[in-house]
Amino acid sequence: METEEKETQEIEIGGKETQSKAKKYEMDMCSGSIIGKILLFSLPLMCSSILQLLFNAADIIVVGRFAGDNSLAAVGSNTSLINLLTNFFMGLSVGANVLVARYYGAKQEKDMSETIHTAMMLSIYSGIILAIVGCLGAKQILIWMQTPEDVLPLAVVYLRIYFLGMPSTMLYNFGSAIMRAVGDTKRPLYYLSLAGVINVILNLVFVIVFHMDVAGVAIATVISQTISAILIVWCMMQPDSSVRLELSALRVHGDKFKRILQIGLPASFQGMVFSFSNVIIQSSVNSFGAIVVAGNSAAANIEGFVYVAMNAFHQAAISFTGQNVGAAKYERVNKILYASELCVLLIGVLLGNLAVLFGRPLLSMYTSSPEVMDAGMIRLRFICGTYALCGMMDVMVGSLRGLGYSIMPMIVSLVGACGLRLLWIFTLFQTEAFHTIESLYLTYPVSWFITFMTHVICFIIVRRKLAKKWGR
């Protein structure tokens, strides 16, 4: 009898230790210092995003240094197209993030589990669809984008191999979005660190040793993305995980699917149209020739590191707002927005201007051509110098989505950012006086500022409406 009681106590103690181990990766976003917890949440996420971006950066650096400018342009010219095809499904992960955060804050475990399994099934379907579309349509889409003829064959090879790895990419991104909802941004960082090191090693081996050119860097990226996906799924399947994934329970729950779509579809559509406008801009950049395309690609990669650093606070605004709404801590919503905006402003101004200041040495990592570096510096000055505006705009969107409003920021972003850019390209840019690369880049800061101010007005209206509903 005493032995049985002792064993029972040991099991209970072991269970508590296991739960404690899981909890250390999670975060209570509904109490304590807001700005301190936002930084604790955002810094690992920032590092994770930078590592993920290094997948593509490593590709570009290796081919630029060891395979030539055409290979550099081939890899870099695919970025906006890849974003266009993936952003639709990535928007659905935003819906999953908001719902999981809300259920976690409200301690509704059954609803949270159903949301998790529905979201992971969506990630599998998304990856398969993207792999098929990307492989079959690669060449024709690149032709529509006016990809230079001397770059097209290499660009097609890279794109097709890259999209074969989309199921892994979707699994990782949906899984990490779910883990962010409960404040776990550390373990995705660990997994990406390992995958990132493997990616760089394979890049060097495939390109320098086996002379595989763009095919080598694409294969290396697919392998590393698959490793990170396997690790994130393994983590979610552990018994101590609050976002427990059970393969036998994988299915689409209709009510959760509907709610994910309600929040995620507007985000998906917004991401797609944003990317579509960038594809149009990329097509316009392509019209200036291979040197400008290569310089634009290298600068866009540098710029990407600043963007993902700022985007961590956009993700923080979504998760923190979602958890606090779920826990009925409505008085913290405004404070979360102010703290996120302050952080993103400081990061955007600091990193954006550092990218401009050290632009030429950074660009020299991608190419040794002075002409390509000159072209890259033009983009850095116009975009990185004003990038804080983009981060502030995105934080406003994150806060509104965390409140459950997804259609409003979608409409504002589409009209204010995408609409203005496309209007500029199809009107003034077509005239001789404004048909310059500088004029093309100027559309970014102008559209960011206008859209940010409109989002501020929308947030004020939404908060007043919700204050009446919540009775505060």
Q: Is the pLDDT of residue 16 over 70?
A: no
pLDDT tens per residue, range 399-429: 999 898 888 888 888 888 788 888 888 888 8
Rounded to whole angstroms, the Cα distance separating 221 from 196 reads 9
Q: Which of 145-154, 238-247, 278-287 is predicted most confidently? A: 238-247
Q: Is the pLDDT of residue 25 over 80?
A: no
Rounded to whole angstroms, the Cα distance separating 199 from 154 reads 20
Assign 84 a pLDDT band (cuts: 50, 70, 90).
low
Give residue 11's pLDDT. 38
Rounded to whole angstroms, the Cα distance separating 452 from 461 reads 15
pLDDT tens per residue, range 101-120: 889 988 899 999 999 999 99
More confident of the two residues 19 and 196: 196
Q: Is the pLDDT of residue 90 over 80?
A: no
Helix (H) or strand (E) holding 67: none
C-alpha distance from residue 437 to each of 147, 157, 296 (Å): 17, 28, 10
Assign 58 a pLDDT band (cuts: 50, 70, 90).
low
Q: Is the pLDDT of residue 17 over 70?
A: no
Assign 171 a pLDDT band (cuts: 50, 70, 90).
very high
Give residue 391's pLDDT. 94
Assign 19 a pLDDT band (cuts: 50, 70, 90).
very low
Rounded to whole angstroms, the Cα distance separating 59 from 207 reads 10
Residue 216: Cβ-neighbour burial (10 angstroms; 0-12, 13-18, 19+): buried
Percent helix, percent strand, percent coil in the chain, to nearest 5: 85, 0, 15
Q: Among 397, 413, 120, 108, which residue's Cα sits nearest to residue 260? A: 120
Q: Among 16, 45, 21, which residue's Cα sits nearest to residue 238? A: 21
Q: Which of 14-23, 206-215, 248-257 is predicted most confidently? A: 248-257
Rounded to whole angstroms, the Cα distance separating 444 from 225 reads 30
Assign 164 a pLDDT band (cuts: 50, 70, 90).
very high
Helix (H) or strand (E) holding 314: helix 290-326
Across residues 87-91, what is the average pLDDT? 74
Assign 367 a pLDDT band (cuts: 50, 70, 90).
confident
Q: Among 292, 36, 355, which residue's Cα sits nearest to residue 151? A: 292
Kindly give the residue spans of alpha helices, DSSP state H, lying in 107-185: 109-144, 152-164, 166-181
Handedness of CA 31, 32, 34, 37 (dihedral sign): negative
Give residue 18's pLDDT. 41
Q: Is the pLDDT of residue 155 over 90?
A: no
Rounded to whole angstroms, the Cα distance separating 230 from 251 reads 19
Q: Is the pLDDT of residue 332 over 60?
A: yes
Give residue 4's pLDDT. 45
Across residues 219-234, what is the average pLDDT? 93
Q: Render 410-471 in DSSP notation, one character per residue.
A: HHHHIIIIIIHHHHHHHTGGGSTTT-SHHHHHHHHHHHHHHHHHHHHHHHHHHHHHHHHHHT
pTM: 0.77
In this structure, of 28-42, 73-87, 211-225, the range with the lowest mean pLDDT score is 73-87
Across residues 156-179, what is the average pLDDT? 91
Please state the domain extents for the chain. Answer: 32-470
Three-state secondary-structure class, residue 153: helix
Q: Is the pLDDT of residue 20 over 80?
A: no
CA atoms within 13 A on the CB side of 245: 22
Two structure tokens written together for 265: 């579809």
CA atoms within 13 A on the CB side of 241: 22
CA atoms within 13 A on the CB side of 6: 3
Rounded to whole angstroms, the Cα distance separating 329 from 29 reads 10
The residue with tokens 């899984």 is 175
Three-state SS letters, 181-209: HCCCCHHHHHHHHHHHHHHHHHHHHHHHH
Q: Is the pLDDT of residue 369 over 50?
A: yes
Two structure tokens written together for 58: 């490593």
More confident of the two residues 287 and 198: 198
pLDDT tens per residue, range 239-253: 888 899 999 999 999
Q: Is the pLDDT of residue 274 over 90?
A: no
Rounded to whole angstroms, the Cα distance separating 69 from 75 reads 10
- Count of residues for the chain? 472
